[in-house]
Structure 1
């Protein structure tokens, strides 16, 4: 368990429940008509976690971070990275390194299972660093957080994120009350972000969350849906364009087995965590992960969205064990690279390295082609020019 109280994989379970909260009102019901989008994404990239792991081997490491960002820039051909987690020093160090390598940076603090005041203080400190980077010329956006229903105590009952997820999944909650509490905290977070950061501001909402996007410069959605045709994705995403603001898919992805895309945000739920093994007879498939990502990125490009970022770069606490399928926990990860333990595969503190999956190579080709000739380059247009220069 990470220091925030729950791993991101388990957070994804709550996404399915958040659609219930959407019953409080129609999505984007008051949105104005927006301008026609320009073709191609401006920013294409990946999420990079800085939260401490269960032990020093899997936790954030400055040397590894620099190596990873070099691979993200030079090998994945991404022009953007979302730096997320808790710990202002880790967030600041990683964001600074990414900016120095020429990457556009999304900086997103995610401190959970602590009082609201602590979460807002953590956000403000992170925002101050984002502002320093912006003033130094970096291309940086600040996200005030992610899916507050899961991370922030008090919106739904529960002393921990795990308890809040269970509460959401059992369906015994008042969606109107939850929506009112969520809207209140989103507004407080937006105010805290604005007080310290003068660049483009956003919030990482779950798909079908009801958010007042007038509070932000960009509309952002964490999107894990699966459809059998392009039309389904377009139907989901086109309403976000009605706000007349740049739209970013701030998370997307799937796990690494046959049938994972169909499971969406619940794809991780194939592990017996007490036994540390995969449930059932899953068939590992890096190809299924790669095909899903290339399909959805084609849709994002065609809609002219502002940005799309893949969850996630690596998952060091879920190693790949090719000769032991029941314990190949990498199958249940959304990562673009697979963790290979160099020592005892049963020792979580063992040294490790990563190797790219098929999804890494597929996106590398897509990002490389798009950066050379198609869509936006991330160097001009979009939010830059009106958001980052505000004084």
Structure 2
């Protein structure tokens, strides 16, 4: 997980659409014994080009999750970003399932990934099971869906690393105040439990999103999922680092990749978010960062070229939107968007009012991804279309 505005992932939502009604969004379809094979494609390159869409509840009523905004965002992901895949992540079964159903209705491939945090293990597993059952319903109705049992369990699940909250665990990890042997044993045990539960409720392709340095028994899963935030000057170094994941003989998906919009952010190894002073009111950017949307865009496209060259299963840019990190063009000190991984910038109508309305605008990263995804889609259409009879 790249950011603690992705700790927006732990604040998550109050419900909107009930599980029982969401299924009606999907047309009925023929049940399949297994979702389409994850190998195989027309030619080389990434099979799936996507973006992470977090269904967080928002910090204020103004930024709360809403079905209407979600529907508009997903249409933009398909029609403007030209993505073919959306990673639906966060907590709240109602929000997860409503978003996944709408994405499937739009013809997007869905990587559905519950990430409930900071609650007892049994609650996390129950949340996982309920989301997985819905993923199976979508799959049986003909949707293209992979189900991930979660993300970086050591961060989200209490008891693996000391700390009551995600932020506490991050601090303990950074300070070294944890027992790595106990962490490994507890992480392995929970991962096995989650994988077994995922298998029991979902019969398509099962995955998990691990931090890139995690040691995971990938025999438990069909897809190797990696949250990837490395930086190297040369593409060959990325290829060498990523190649080790092929030893499992399974498709490799990059479940998160990206960086923030300031100079030097790409070199922070996934800690680019950690430049906000949360003790101040209003919160402000530490130091004297220089905004650079180009830095973010160039890093994303550079990594996409690497992933394409390796023929990976898919890559999901982190992330589409961070609603509670607004952009302030008039005040760099309060431009929280600089610390966001989002490829869009949140613009408040009245910047100093918490209840202000807002909209998003594309960043340079959005436009760069749209060009890349759009070009790749046109190439694949030509390559995969049937020839003349």
TM range (shorter): 0.7 to 0.9
Relative to 1, partners in 2 of residues 1:266 and 1:39: Cα closer, same or farther, differing over 3 Å?
same
CA contact (8 A) 2:8 2:58 kept: no
How far residue 274 of structure 1 moved from its aligned partner, in angstroms, is 1.7
Hey, what's the Cα distance between the residues in 2 that align with 1:131 and 1:324? 47
Hey, what's the Cα distance between the residues in 1 that align with 2:8 and 2:241? 24
Map of 1:278 onto structure 2:
285
TM-score, normalising length: structure 2: 0.87
5+ long unaligned stretches in structure 1 = 1-5, 13-34, 380-391
How far residue 106 of structure 1 moved from its aligned partner, in angstroms, is 0.5
Aligned counterpart in structure 1 of residue 263 of structure 2, from 258, 269, 279: 258
CA contact (8 A) 1:79 1:378 kept: no
Hey, what's the Cα distance between the residues in 1 that align with 2:123 and 2:191? 15
Hey, what's the Cα distance between the residues in 1 that align with 2:8 and 2:269? 13
CA contact (8 A) 1:269 1:332 kept: yes
**1:154 matches 2:152:** no
How far residue 36 of structure 1 moved from its aligned partner, in angstroms, is 11
Hey, what's the Cα distance between the residues in 1 that align with 2:66 and 2:195? 30
Hey, what's the Cα distance between the residues in 2 that align with 1:155 and 1:336? 32
Moved over 6 A (4+): 35-38, 375-379
CA contact (8 A) 1:40 1:375 kept: no
Hey, what's the Cα distance between the residues in 2 that align with 1:234 and 1:376? 28
TM-score, normalising length: structure 1: 0.86
Hey, what's the Cα distance between the residues in 1 that align with 2:375 and 2:272? 29
**1:360 matches 2:363:** no
Hey, what's the Cα distance between the residues in 2 that align with 1:378 and 1:179? 44
Hey, what's the Cα distance between the residues in 2 that align with 1:376 and 1:248? 24
How far residue 281 of structure 1 moved from its aligned partner, in angstroms, is 1.2
**1:41 matches 2:40:** no
How far residue 10 of structure 1 moved from its aligned partner, in angstroms, is 8.5
Map of 2:329 onto structure 1:
322
Matches within 5 A, 1:45-194: 45-194=50-199
Relative to 1, partners in 2 of residues 1:217 and 1:378: Cα closer, same or farther, differing over 3 Å?
farther
DSSP 3-state at the match of 1:264: coil
DSSP 3-state at the match of 2:57: coil
CA contact (8 A) 1:320 1:330 kept: yes
Matches within 5 A, 1:160-309: 160-275=165-280, 276-309=283-316
Kindly indicate whether structure 1 or structure 2 has the higher relative contact order, using CA contacts under 8 Å at least 6 residues apart: 1
DSSP 3-state at the match of 2:148: strand
DSSP 3-state at the match of 1:57: helix
DSSP 3-state at the match of 1:144: strand
How far residue 355 of structure 1 moved from its aligned partner, in angstroms, is 0.4
Hey, what's the Cα distance between the residues in 1 that align with 2:56 and 2:255? 18
Hey, what's the Cα distance between the residues in 2 that align with 1:187 and 1:376? 42
Map of 1:349 onto structure 2:
355
CA contact (8 A) 1:9 1:268 kept: no
5+ long unaligned stretches in structure 2 = 11-38
Hey, what's the Cα distance between the residues in 2 that align with 1:132 and 1:36? 24
DSSP 3-state at the match of 1:340: strand
**1:372 matches 2:378:** yes
Give the alignment's Cα RMSD to 1 decimal: 2.1
Hey, what's the Cα distance between the residues in 2 that align with 1:289 and 1:264? 13
Hey, what's the Cα distance between the residues in 2 that align with 1:67 and 1:267? 28
The superposition leaves residues 3-33 of structure 1 with CA deviations (integer Å, 9 ceiling, x where unpaired) of xxx6425999xxxxxxxxxxxxxxxxxxxxx
Hey, what's the Cα distance between the residues in 2 that align with 1:134 and 1:123? 16
CA contact (8 A) 1:42 1:377 kept: no
DSSP 3-state at the match of 1:46: strand
How far residue 297 of structure 1 moved from its aligned partner, in angstroms, is 0.2
CA contact (8 A) 2:9 2:56 kept: no
CA contact (8 A) 2:276 2:336 kept: yes
